[in-house]
Amino acid sequence: MLDVLQKIVCLSSMAILLAWKVFLPTSVYILRGNHESKYYNFIYGFEKELLAKYGDKGDDVYQKCFGCFKCLPLTSIIGKYVYTAHGGLFRSTMAYLKKSKGKKKRKISFNPELSITLSLGTFEELNKAQRMVLDPPSEGSNLIPGDVLWSDPSMDPGLSLNQLRGAGLLWGPDCTEEFLKKFQLKVI
């Protein structure tokens, strides 16, 4: 009986949160966190827990959870003035991109020669990021999801790579001030 209750509580909590979002879309905000990834769900036992609790249906439940995680927004703006994200600020990808040559295959690719230059990104870049990745990359042309999920504030000015986490950035008070002013926000 206790096992059945645990199964119900696990999925009911997620179902209740999603139901609140559906019925109160302007009052409930659900964002993706840095542990909604295949790697961290494996490491911290979420996959194993679902397989143990749901037996033959465990893998299906696990895949449905990832379908949900992939669709969660990375950031939100609440009341026009509050920027929210699990991690924080993100870098501009403009310095990292170069156009390939040729008329038929005009695509943007990672330019490793410019990887030292860091500047704050824009909401336009954020909107173009491929957010439906399950494990955001720490290198390449789609760095914004990893930055948004793994970045941390710092007392030191400027932007720097977050060496401690191995993903995301550290941003200083000057970056906070610049970001708020640039996008007419009041709080991060």
Pick the catalytic residue: 7, 35, 53, 98? 35
Catalytic residue flag (residue 86): no
Cβ–Cβ < 8 Å for 53, 86: no
β strands within 65-131, DSSP E: 75-78, 82-85, 97-99, 108-110
* Local structure of 59: helix, strand or coil: helix
Which residues touch 136 (CB under 8 Å, ≥6 apart)? Answer: 37, 142, 143, 145, 146, 149, 150, 167
Three-state DSSP state, 48: helix
What residues are labeled active site? 35
